[in-house]
A and B are shown apart, each in its own frame.
Chain A
Amino acid sequence: MTPNTEILGPARNRVDGPLKVTGRAKYAVEFEVPRCVHAWPVVSNLAKGTITAIDSKAAESAPGVLKVLTHQNAPKPDEAKSKKKEVTRASGIRIEDRNPLSDDQVHYAGQYVALVVAQTLEQARYAASLVRVSYAPEKPTLTMAEAAEQAQEPKKNQEENVQPKKGDVNPALANQSLVRLRETYSTPTETHNPIEMSGTIAAWEGDDKLTVWNATQFVKGVQSLLARTYDLDLENVRVICPFVGGAFGCKGAVWPHELLATMAAKVVGVPVKFHVPRKEMFTATGHRTPTSQTLALAATHDGKLQAMQHVSQTLTSPVGEWTESCGARSTAVMYASPAIRVEEIVYPVNVATPTFMRAPGECPGVYALECALDELSYLLQIDPVELRLTNYADNHPIKDVPFSAKHLKEAYQLGAEKFGWSKRSAQPGSMRDSELLVGWGMATCTYPAHKMAAAAKAILRADGSATVQCATHDLGTGAYTAFTQISSEQLGVPFEKVTFELGKSDYPFGPVAGGSNSTGTVGTAIHEVAGLLHQALAVLATKDPKSPLHNLQPNEIAMVAPGRIGLKNDPLKSDSYADILQRAGKESIAVESKLEEPEENEKMAFQSWGAHFCEVKIDPLLPRVQVTRVVTVIDCGRVVTYKPARSQILGGVVMGIGMALHEETAYDPHTGLPATANLADYHVPTNADIPQIDVHFVGEPDFAFNPIGARGIGEIGITGIAAAVANAVYHATGKRVRDLPITPDKLLS
C-alpha cells in the first residue's frame, strides 16, 4: 500500500473520552489496593542547614500512626550501589541525585525531612504536624549573584552540545556600520502544575516483588530504576499507569516521593500511598528554572543577520543537575547567520531542583530570541515577518545540512493571511479599539523532532479485531487515540476494532513521554510490528493450498488493502486476514517487534516549525493585557489525528499565554520559601483570559524522519507564543517589557 500522504489525519474523538467524562478512567493513586495506608510528608522550612534533632514522639503516639520515617531510621536503598547495573536507555531518569532521608543535610526549602505513615490520610497529615525538627541553620545561597563563584558552564546536555558556535560573532557585534542590539530577557520560575498531582502506591510481595501504581511519563524507566534501587529482577517490578492527568515534564524523572513510598511500604509491611500535596508540587517534582538571557544581534540595514549571540544564565539546585539549554535550542537552530555563539552558565542555589518543563530550553530560548528579533525589526523598520523571511534558514545553521521537510514560509504566509497581518499599522500605539490600545505581534515557533527506541506487540484475532500494546503513555494528550489510528492504518484493521493498550511495564518497551517523541517513536514500532504481523499472515497463507497466495514467497507479500495481504507487484492476488486465520484454525496470532535503536540520518536535520500571530487589547489607564485573537500555524509533518493534535496546539498556546502574562513561582527573598505555592496565588490562565485560537497545519508527512511521517506535537505550541504576546504588547503600548510575566504593574509607567 502506498503511504498516506495527507497532512491531516481524521478528526477522531478520543477513544478514552467516555471513560474520562464518566469518571471511570482510573489514575494511579485511585487504584484500590487492599490494606493500603497513607503517607504525609514533613518538609524543611529552611533552605540550608543541618538537622540537629527530630522529635517524633508525639507523632508516633498519635492515632493511627504506623511509622515516622526520618534520616535516622529510614532504609537507605541506593541505586549507586546496585548489583543490577545494566545502564540502558531504559534505566530511568533522576534529576535530583540525592536520595530522600539519606542524611541530615538540608539543601532547599521544601525538602522532605520526614514521612509519617498512618492508617488514614488525615491521621498521617495531623501526625506530620506534630513532628518537631530542629536545625542548625546556615545562610542559603539564593541568587545568581550569591552563587557566582559556583557558576558552571556545561558543555553537554544529555548528548547535545549546549555551547555551539559558528564563525566569530565579535567583529559584527563591534561593527558600528551594522544595526546592533543587545538586550536581556528574563523569565521567572514556572511550575508545571498538572491537575493530577504526582503520586505513588507501593505494594511489596515479600522482599523481592514490587508493584507500584505511579503517575509517571515513563513506566519502564520507573521499573528499571526501582529494580536497581532495591536489587530486584526487572520482571519482579511492575509499574502501572493507564492514565496521566497532565504532566508537562514533572512526571518524567523519578522524584523522592517514589522512593519514599517504596521505602515506607517496605518498612510498614503493607501498601503505602503517597499522593504529593499541591504545595509540595512546587518543590518536590521540579519546576522550570528562572532564566536571564542576553541576546546580541547585528544585521545589515536590509535586515541580513551577521551575528547572533545568546548567553543564558539559569539556576539548578545543589543536589540536582539541570541545564535549561535556551540558546542551543533557539538561536543555534532558527535563522541563517554567518556567526552564531551560544553560551550557558548554570548557578547552583538553595532552591528545589528544577527539571524539564514543556519545551525545556526551547520555550524560554525562543521567547528571548523572538523578542530580540522583534526589537531588531523596529530598529530596521522592516516588517517582523519580512525580517524572518530575510534570514530564513533552509539548512541547519550549525550542522549545515538541509532540514528534512521545512514549510515555515507557508506557515508565515497562511498565518499572516488568516490573521489579516497586512492591515497592521507598524507604528507602536497606532491601533485602537475605541479606548483600548490594540497590538499585533508575531513570533516563530520551533521544536526538534526526537526519535527514540520502542517496541510493540500486536494481536490479531479471527473476528477481525486487534490489540496493540506498548509501555507508552497518554498524559491527557490523546495518545490513546493517535496510536489507535496508527494501529488501524498500519495493521489494516478498522479503527473501531483496534484496542491500544499502554501504561504498564508488562508491555514491550516504550520510552519516556518527553521531547514530543511518542507519536513518531511508538508509531514507528507499530509500523514495524504491523510488518511482522503481515509476514506472519503471509507465512500461514503461502503454506495453505486453499489460499490464492499458496506457494508464493512471504517476502513478496505485504498488506495491499485494509484487512488483506497480497502480492506486492500484483495486488489482485490477495487473501483476507480473516480467511487466513480461519483456514489455519487459529483464533488469533501475536507478534512482537524488536527493540532497536533508531537509525540516525546525519544528512538531514529534523525540526518542526510554526508561526503565532497574536492580538492584544490593553486599557491604557489600567493596563492588564487581554489576548483577543491568536492564529497559529504548525508544520509538524503528518498530523495523525486532527482533533487531539489541534488540542495539543491549543493547550500549548494557552500555557504560553500563561507564561507571557501570569505564571510565576515567587520566593521569599530571605528564606527561599516559595510564596505562591498554591493554585490561587500561582496564576494560570482562566477561560476568561483565553480568546478563540485559530489553529492550522501546513507541510507534508516527513517520511525522511520516520515511516509515520509525524514529528510530534506536544511541545511546539508553547514555543514562541510568549514572544508573540510580548511583541503585541510592545506594538500596542510602545513599552518593551523584557521580564515575564507581563503583569499590569509593569505597564503602568
Chain B
Amino acid sequence: MTPFTYSRASDPQSAIEGVAANAQAKFLGGGTNLVDLMKMGVETPAQLVDINRLALTQVEELPNNGGVRIGALVRNSDLAEHQLITARYPVLSEALLSGASPQLRNLATTGGNLLQRTRCYYFYDPAFPMCNKRNPGSGCGALEGYNRIHAILGQSEQCIATHPSDMCVAMAALDAVVRVQGPQGERTIPFADFHRLPGATPNIETNLRPNELITAVDLPAMPLATRSHYLKVRDRASYAFALVSVAAILEMDRGTIRSARVALGGVAHKPWRATQAEKKLAGQQPNETTFRAAAEAELAAAKGYKYNSFKIELAKRAIRQALTTVATMA
C-alpha cells in the first residue's frame, strides 16, 4: 500500500476543499472497495479525506412528491432494512440484500456503491500487464483472456469489464437521481447518465466532475413500484457477484402491462437499463410470448466472447423469469 495522508472532514464543503487541494486525493467512505484496491496497488491515493462523519446518513421522504432521499453515507444494511425502502421500493431492498456479505453491507455506503469498481481480473491485479482502466493505452487483457465474467452489452474493444453493483441495477430501474456537490455548487445527475459505457476511455467510469462529492440519491415517487423483483443469477447461493441480474418493475392496468422498467446487472460496463425490452412490454399481455420477445429484443445486440457467450442465453432466461415472477405477484 502506498503511503497516504488522512484527514477527517466535518462537512461536505470542507471535504470537497480537502480533495480539491490535492490532485491525488480521494474521499473515503466505507472503504470496502477502495481500501481493498489500495492493498492490491490498483488505487494509490496520496490523501484520503474521510467523509464518514458527514451528516449524510438519513433516509427521508421528499416533501410534496412522495419520493425518498437516501443520504450518501447510508450503509447498505440500513438502507435494505429501512421501512421507506421495504414499503415503497422493495426491489432496491432485494438487490442490496443479494450483494456481498452482512459484514460488508454494514460498512458499504450508498455513495460508495455507486463508485464500486469492476471485478475484472485484469483490472484488479496489477500483475496483469494489460488494462486500459488502470493503464490507459495498455490494451484489454480480458478481450482475448479469461473473460467468463465479462460484458456482453455496450462494451468496446478497449474494455469488456462489467459494473459489479447490485444496488445500482435496482436504482437504474427506479430512475434514481444522483445528487452531487462540487466546487461549483450542487447539481443532479439522472441515473442513466451517471455511469458511462467504456468507449475509448474506460478509465473514466462516471460523469462526476473533479472533486464532486455524492451527497444523496433521490428515488422518485413510484406508487406502483411494489410490483417488482430483483433476480440474481450467480455461481453459488450467496456471496458471489452476479453472472446476470435483473431488476424488474411492472405497472399493470387491468391485466395489461402499462409500463415496465427493467435493468440488468453483470452484463455491461454500467447498470444496463433494458429499454428495448421495456418497449416490447408496454401495452402487452404479461405472458411467456411477451416476455420472450422482450428478452430477445434486449439481447439482440449482445456479443459474447470465448468464455462468456453463455451470458446471452442466461440473460434472456433471467429476464423471462424475473418478469414472470413479477407478473404472478398478488
Chain A residues within 8 Å of B, Cβ to Cβ: 43, 45, 63, 109, 122, 125-126, 129, 279, 619, 621-622, 624, 626, 661-662, 666-671, 673, 675-677, 680-681, 683, 685-689, 743-745, 748-749
B150 vs chain A, min Cβ distance (A): 11
Cross-chain contact B128 with A673 (CB below 8 angstroms): yes
Contacts of A661 in B (CB 8 A): 235-236
Please, how many angstroms separate the alpha-carbon atoms of A685 and B238 in the complex?
9
Q: How far is the CB of B68 from chain A (nearest CB, A)?
A: 30
Partner of B239 from A621, A622, A676, A686 at Cβ < 8 Å: A686
CA distance A624 to B314 in the complex (A): 11
Tell me if A622 and B148 are in contact (CB < 8 A). no
Contact A686 B320 (CB under 8 A): no
Q: Which of B13-21, B108-116, B138-146, B275-283 contacts A (4 or more CB under 8 A)?
A: B138-146
B329 at the interface (CB under 8 A from A): no
CB distance from B232 to the nearest CB of A (A): 10
> B119 to A680, Cβ gap below 8 A?
yes
* Secondary structure of the A contact surface, majority rule: loop
Residue of A nearest to B312 (CB): A748
Given contact pairs A126-B3, A668-B146, A680-B119, A748 touches B310 in the complex (Cβ within 8 A)? yes
Which of A279, A621, A749 gathers the greatest number of chain B CB atoms within 10 Å? A621
List A contacts of B2 (CB < 8 A).
126, 129
The verdict on B121 contacting chain A, using a C-beta distance below 8 Å, is yes
Provide 13 A-B residue pairs closer than 8 Å at the C-beta atoms, listed in order of the A residue: A45-B127, A109-B127, A622-B321, A624-B235, A666-B148, A667-B146, A669-B145, A673-B127, A675-B121, A675-B145, A683-B236, A744-B233, A748-B314
CA–CA, A129 and B126, complex, Å:
11
What distance in Å separates the Cβ of B135 from its nearest Cβ neighbour in chain A? 13
Q: Is B173 an interface residue (CB 8 A)?
A: no
Question: Does A745 contact B314, Cβ atoms closer than 8 Å?
Answer: yes
Q: Which residues of A contact B231 (CB under 8 A)?
A: 622
Given A125-B1, A667-B146, A669-B146, A689-B41 contact (CB < 8 Å): no
Q: Are A668 and B234 in contact, CB atoms less than 8 angstroms apart?
A: no
Q: Which of A129, A626, A676 contacts B41 (CB 8 A)?
A: A129
> Total A-B residue pairs with C-beta atoms closer than 8 Å?
96
The answer to whether A624 touches B234 (Cβ under 8 A) is yes
Residues of B within 8 A of A677 (CB): 125
Contact yes or no, A621 B321, CB < 8 A: yes
Partner of A622, one of B129, B311, B317: B317
**A743-B235, A745-B314 are known contacts. Are A676 and B121 too (CB-CB below 8 A)?**
yes
CB atoms of A683 and B235 under 8 A apart: yes
**Within the complex, what minimum Cβ distance (angstroms) separates B146 from chain A?**
5
Q: A45-B129, A673-B125 are in contact. Are A626 and B148 (CB under 8 A)?
A: no
| Residues on A with beta carbons closer than 8 Å to the beta carbon of B238 | 686-689
Which residue on chain B has the smallest CB distance to residue A130?
B2
Residues in A with CB closer than 8 Å to B241 are 680
Q: Which of A122, A662, A668, A683 contacts B1 (CB 8 A)?
A: A122
**B217 lies within 8 A of chain A by Cβ:** no
Please name the residue on chain A nearest to B314 by beta carbon: A748
Alpha-carbon distance A129/B44, docked complex (angstroms): 11
- If A619-B321, A624-B237, A688-B238 are given as contacts, then 5 extra A-B residue pairs at C-beta distance below 8 Å, sorted by A number, are A621-B317, A624-B236, A686-B237, A688-B236, A744-B233
Measured CA separation A748–B233 after assembly (Å): 12
Residues in B neighbouring A622, C-beta threshold 8 A? 231, 233, 314, 317-318, 321
Q: B305 → chain A, closest Cβ, in Å?
A: 12
Q: In the complex, which residues 209-262 of chain B have their Cβ closer than 8 Å to any Cβ of chain A?
A: 231, 233-241, 243
Cβ of B236 and Cβ of A685 under 8 Å apart? yes
Q: Does B186 contact A (CB under 8 A)?
A: no
* Cα–Cα distance between A109 and B125 once the two chains are bound (Å): 13
* Contact call B121/A681, Cβ cutoff below 8 A: yes
Which B residues between 279 and 330 are near A, CB-CB below 8 angstroms?
310-311, 313-314, 317-318, 320-321
Chain B residues near A744 (CB, 8 Å)? 233, 235, 243, 310, 314
B146 near A675 with CB under 8 A, answer yes
Which 3 A-B pairs rank lowest in CB-CB distance, beginning with the nearest?
A: A688-B237, A745-B310, A675-B121
- Report the Cα distance A671→B148, complex, angstroms: 17
* Chain A residues within 8 Å of B127, by CB: 43, 45, 109, 673
B241 CB to nearest A CB, Å: 8
Query: Is the pair A670, B144 in contact by a Cβ cutoff of 8 Å?
Result: yes
- Asked if A668 contacts B119 (CB within 8 A), the reply is no
Distance of A118 Cα from B327 Cα, bound (Å): 62
CA distance A92 to B145 in the complex (A): 39
A364 → chain B, closest Cβ, in Å?
20
- Measured in the bound complex, the distance between the Cα atoms of B316 and A748 in whole Å is 11
Question: In the bound complex, do residue B146 and residue A683 qualify as a contact, i.e. CB atoms below 8 Å apart?
Answer: no
CB distance from B188 to the nearest CB of A (A): 33
Q: Contact partner of B129 among A671, A680, A689, CB < 8 A?
A: A671
Report chain A residues within 8 Å CB of B129.
45, 671
Residues of B within 8 A of A109 (CB): 127
